[in-house]
Chains A and B, each alone.
Chain A
Amino acid sequence: MRSAHDADPDRSAAWTRRKFLGTVALTGVGASLAGCGVTAGDGDKGDGTGTINALFMKQAGYSEDDIKAMTAAFQKANPKIKVTPSFVAYEALHDKIVAAAPAGTYDVVLIDVIWPPEFGEKKMITDVTSKYPADWKSGMLDGALKTAVYEDKFYGVPWILDTKYFFSNTEHLQRAKVDPATLGTWDGVLAAARAVKKSGVKHPLIWSWSQAEAVICDYTQLLGAFDGKFLDDAGKPAFNTGGGVKALEFMRNTITEGLTNPASVESIEEDVRKTFSNGDASFGLNWTYMYGLSQDPKESKVVGKVAIQQTPAGPSGARPGCNGSMALSVASGSKNQDAAWKYIAFLTSPDEQAKYAKSSLPVWKDSYDDPTVTKVAPQTVPVAKQQLAELILRPQVSSYNAVSALLQAEIQNALLGKKPPQKALDDAAAAAADVLAKN
């Protein structure tokens, strides 16, 4: 950078110093200002009244309008408590909870089933075991109950349940003369897929096996069906033995046999839905949301040709669904934890949940005998009732994100044929053991 003027060194040195001093002074002011009261990490029970901020997800089971209506009802019943809900995209949810933790911005947060270990270990959400009424433990669906548990402590209350169901295209089945009753086991599904393939469908099976959390969900469901375990009783990786290996071998075999659409290794749930809704696949595993959209003529070409059922069973008859639920937790930085708990208890109560069953099914066993709930979605409710009672969790470890990432990578290796399934899982287990040992 050139200039037209000559420099006068003494003069310029003085200005330099002055500017630096100014900057340093400002730094000091800035730092101390912001430094005051920085760690808002100490939560407080509060007195059960006041304002609480709740963080929800957009387009999550319950719509924004549903939640606002529930909140209004709560405020009416509890005039001394005011609730301000916020709604953000799912991607932002985790990062927002992490960023807001030191500041204690939120009192109630909606969390995904894979976060209680992480957040619980790092003390970002509160242990609410002592607040759980005894009848909750028997009144909640078994699968739901374990959603927010970590190290035998409850860190939240399950609220929005979800799992992957098995969808089939009835038209393809009829054409291939397959009896839907045979789809109750994975062996039956394989046989059906072969028959459908002969009848003209190029790749009957579509899965979400992209290198993302999506593949872990599918893998989990298959691991459960084949009686596998993620971790043994000592907490060490065990997915490279028994059912865990059988599941991955099953996945790889469907690819080599040409039954699974090769694009599956790049697909996530939305791609499964689109392929299935386009009529290009006969079978698919997906979350509840796929059913509604598959019956929408704007979104789907297979309206009226979709059957939904429980995930197929393995040789022993086990058919757990991957737990993809969400729970409500009290943030540890909240200064109003009692009020926050009251709000959560209200939202998760059987009566409130029954009112909005159309958006999301309740977590309570008895609700499924309640006609207000059952008439909401006659096809899905009976299936849900069975499936939600039998759910399998992904590994409940605080370093879950890291473990999931390396498992995803190795599963991809096996699916792409780069490693045999046993080796891929052995490598993953070794790496996971390292990660688990460090934390």
Chain B
Amino acid sequence: MLRRAPSHRRAAAGQRRRGEGWFAVALLVPSVLVVFGVVVYPVLRTLMISFFDVDSPVATETPFVGLGNYTEALGEPAFWRAARQTAYFAVTSIALELLFGTGIALLLNAPLRARWLFRAVVILPWALPTIVNGAMWRQILNSQYGAFNALLTQLGVLDEYRSWLGEPFLALNMVMLADVWKNTSLVAFLLLAGLQAIDVNLYEAARVDGAGPIRSFFSITLPLLLPSIAIVLVLRTIETFKVFDIIYIMTRGGPASGTQTLTFYTYLQAFSDQRLGYGSALAYLIVSAVVALAVLYLRLLHGQEGRA
């Protein structure tokens, strides 16, 4: 490779950058247009509405309440209940997805026969539209004639059909099951990419040193997989905080508000009860939480990279 004297390189690079300034802005403007062009008004209007008391989409009297909606939300037990349920949903489903996703990623990476077939099978849940996924699990878990009950009774695990979506906490777990079933394959593929980036020679060297498969997994694979895990964490956190479709189809927030996550609670307040100002405040509270978490993850990741 050509070696230049450092000062020359700097000067040449600087000259290039000066001329490229406009170019860079030009490259970014389309993104800004596409992302903010259509949604900037809604984003700002929702923010604005969150400071007023708006109780109808065609409201004529909208008194200013400042942070009133926000403080009301933070003081509302139903809000905290939804927050707790969302946190549980997020933490547990992400943990499960990472756990199973890693396992499946390792399998996807392993020397299987008919690897392409296995990959096709793993892609299948991901390709199923969420609303069909929700409807399907709802049918499978039906307490009167669902396939899950049928399977368990025919296998002898259960004596008789039981309810799976009738108790709040159990229903939340079942909704989580449906969501994890669909999304684990996505996580697996993301982690697979990270796996494939790891140098095979590292494993060879470890084997020569006498490390078993478990040891090399924890000292080689896992640390080098951390960047992928970070991406998965951010993506899935955003998605689980936004989770709506599957709850809308499977349980509509019931029973006894047991599957009401933050976004569903926001939907009920904003649309069912038409408390639009309050609903807008809720939305921005959700965004703040997600931003805080995302920043946290990225900081943690940079910390890791610094160490590695």
Check A-B contact in the complex, CB < 8 A.
Answer: yes
A39 within 8 A of B: yes
Which residues B244-273 have CB closer than 8 A to chain A? 252, 254-257, 268, 271-273
Bound CA–CA A8/B17 (angstroms): 9
| Per-residue contact bits, chain A 329-372, to B (CB 8 Å; 1 contact, 0 not) | 00011000000000000000000000000000000000000000
| Per-residue contact bits, chain A 8-20, to B (CB 8 Å; 1 contact, 0 not) | 1001001100110
Contact B255 A412 (CB under 8 A): yes
Bound CA–CA A8/B18 (angstroms): 10
Contact A15 B144 (CB under 8 A): no
Contact A22 B143 (CB under 8 A): no
Contact A31 B57 (CB under 8 A): no
| Per-residue contact bits, chain B 156-191, to A (CB 8 Å; 1 contact, 0 not) | 000000010110000000000000000000000000
Number of A-B contacts (CB under 8 A): 108
| Per-residue contact bits, chain B 90-112, to A (CB 8 Å; 1 contact, 0 not) | 00000000000000000000000
Residues of A within 8 A of B166 (CB): 265-266
Contact A118 B57 (CB under 8 A): no
Please name the residue on chain A nearest to B18 by beta carbon: A11
B37 within 8 A of A: yes
Residues of B within 8 A of A122 (CB): 55-59, 274
Please name the residue on chain B nearest to A2 by beta carbon: B305
A59 within 8 A of B: no
Contact A30 B273 (CB under 8 A): no
Partner of A123, one of B33, B56, B252: B56
A268 → B minimal CB distance (Å): 10
Bound CA–CA A326/B33 (angstroms): 43
User: Which residues of B are interface residues toward A (Cβ below 8 A)?
Assistant: 10, 13-14, 17-18, 21, 24-25, 28-29, 32-33, 36-38, 40-41, 44, 55-60, 142-145, 163, 165-166, 252, 254-257, 268, 271-274
Known pairs A212-B252, A274-B144, A275-B144; A11 contacts B17 (CB<8 A): yes
Contact B274 A118 (CB under 8 A): yes
Contact A211 B36 (CB under 8 A): no
Which of A61-69, A93-101, A132-140, A175-183 is near enough to bind chain B? A93-101
A413 → B minimal CB distance (Å): 8
A402 within 8 A of B: yes
Contact A30 B41 (CB under 8 A): yes
Closest 10 CB pairs of A and B: A122-B56, A41-B58, A34-B41, A101-B57, A266-B166, A30-B40, A401-B272, A211-B254, A211-B255, A102-B57
Among B13, B21, B28, B255: residue with most chain A CB under 10 A: B255
A35 within 8 A of B: yes
User: Which residues of A are interface residues toward B (Cβ below 8 A)?
Assistant: 5-6, 8, 11, 14-15, 18-19, 22-23, 26-27, 30-31, 33-35, 39, 41, 94-95, 98-99, 101-102, 118, 122-124, 210-212, 263, 265-267, 271, 274-275, 278, 280, 332-333, 399, 401-402, 405, 409, 412-413
Partner of A210, one of B36, B60, B255: B255
Contact B25 A15 (CB under 8 A): yes
Identify whether the interface residues of A are mostly helix, strand, loop, or mixed.
helix
B287 → A minimal CB distance (Å): 17
Partner of B28, one of A14, A19, A263: A19
Please name the residue on chain B nearest to A410 by beta carbon: B256
B302 → A minimal CB distance (Å): 9
Partner of B163, one of A6, A22, A266: A266
Bound CA–CA A95/B57 (angstroms): 11
Contact A211 B256 (CB under 8 A): yes
Bound CA–CA A275/B275 (angstroms): 38
Residues of A within 8 A of B18 (CB): 11
Among B17, B57, B252: residue with most chain A CB under 10 A: B57
Residues of B within 8 A of A278 (CB): 145
Give 10 new A-B contacts, CB below 8 A, not counting A22-B29, A34-B41: A18-B25, A19-B32, A27-B36, A101-B57, A124-B56, A210-B255, A211-B256, A263-B163, A266-B255, A278-B145
Known pairs A30-B41, A265-B166, A266-B255; A99 contacts B57 (CB<8 A): yes
Contact A124 B25 (CB under 8 A): no
Residues of B within 8 A of A26 (CB): 32-33, 36-37, 40
Known pairs A8-B14, A211-B255, A263-B144; A123 contacts B25 (CB<8 A): no
Please name the residue on chain A nearest to B36 by beta carbon: A26
Please name the residue on chain A nearest to B59 by beta carbon: A122
Bound CA–CA A99/B256 (angstroms): 27
Contact B25 A19 (CB under 8 A): yes
Contact A266 B143 (CB under 8 A): yes
Residues of B within 8 A of A280 (CB): 144
Query: What are 26 A-B contacts with C-beta separation under 8 Å?
Result: A5-B13, A14-B21, A15-B25, A18-B25, A19-B32, A22-B25, A27-B44, A30-B36, A30-B40, A30-B41, A39-B58, A98-B271, A101-B56, A101-B57, A122-B58, A122-B59, A124-B58, A210-B254, A210-B255, A265-B166, A332-B58, A401-B272, A401-B273, A402-B272, A405-B268, A412-B256
Bound CA–CA A15/B14 (angstroms): 14
Among A30, A118, A405: residue with most chain B CB under 10 A: A30
B276 → A minimal CB distance (Å): 9
